[in-house]
Amino acid sequence: MKKFATAIVATSMMISGTALANENWANKSGDVGVGANLTLSGVQGLELRYGINPAMGVGLTVGMINSTASTDGGDTTATGQIMALGVAGTYKVVKAKTASGSLVLGADYTSTKSGSVTDDYEGGVAVSDLVLGLGFQGEVFLAKKFSLHSKVGLTYDAYDGAEAGAGEGYGDDDTDDDNDYAGSTIALSGGILAGAGFTVWF
């Protein structure tokens, strides 16, 4: 991990002379970026970014997993689906021509379903969650249109905890019971690799 961080810093220093002599690569006002992202709460997927002005930006992360597996000699199909959306805003507090440091405020929504399908049965359990995050994101511009970023910060999950039971049946497992939420979780997450991603700018 230390070698990875050293490589990024060294590369940034090598290209900083070019950027200093020319334009500000880190100023993405009015620019759109597409890449990959991992939010503070763990939402991983495709990210769309937009620079509102030289200091502020917004991003949308979309992640999806759809899995099926045959069990019981093919008589039953186990299913799993995860759909996650993350929205975030950034505000630069550290500015340079090839790097920036920004405060990050985000909200992530995750919907998870797991169940099974047979000839006369289809149902399972669905769980949804909303997590808020506040942290710091560092970003290095290796070229005018390419950047790497990583973040660290706190997350708050109001629907999680030792006594939380957020599952709700669907299909043949459907019930009239509402989701029962109890407990909350505050966590410190992120790091050089955790919370990392890249962006291609247009």
Residue 119 has pLDDT above 60, yes or no: yes
The neighbouring-strand residues paired with 46 are 36, 62
Q: Look at residue 62 in the predicted model and tell me its pLDDT.
A: 97
Q: Which CATH architecture has domain 2-201?
A: Beta Barrel (2.40)
Element (H, E) at 95: strand 76-95
Comparing 44-58, 60-74, 90-104, 176-190, which segment has the lowest mean pLDDT? 176-190
CA distance 40 to 50: 19
Phi, psi (degrees; rounded to nearest 5) at 177: -75, 140
Q: What is the model's pLDDT at position 178? A: 55
Provide the pLDDT for residue 113: 87
Place of tokens 């950027």: 19
Short-list 200, 106, 198, CA closest to 149: 198
Question: 171 and 115 in contact (C-beta within 8 Å)?
Answer: yes
Q: Give the lowest-confidence range in 26-30, 77-81, 100-104.
A: 77-81
> What's the pLDDT at 148?
96
For residue 180, the SS3 value is: strand
Amino acid letter, 93: V
What integer pLDDT is reported at residue 161 of this predicted model?
Answer: 53
Neighbours of 163 (CB within 10 A): 8
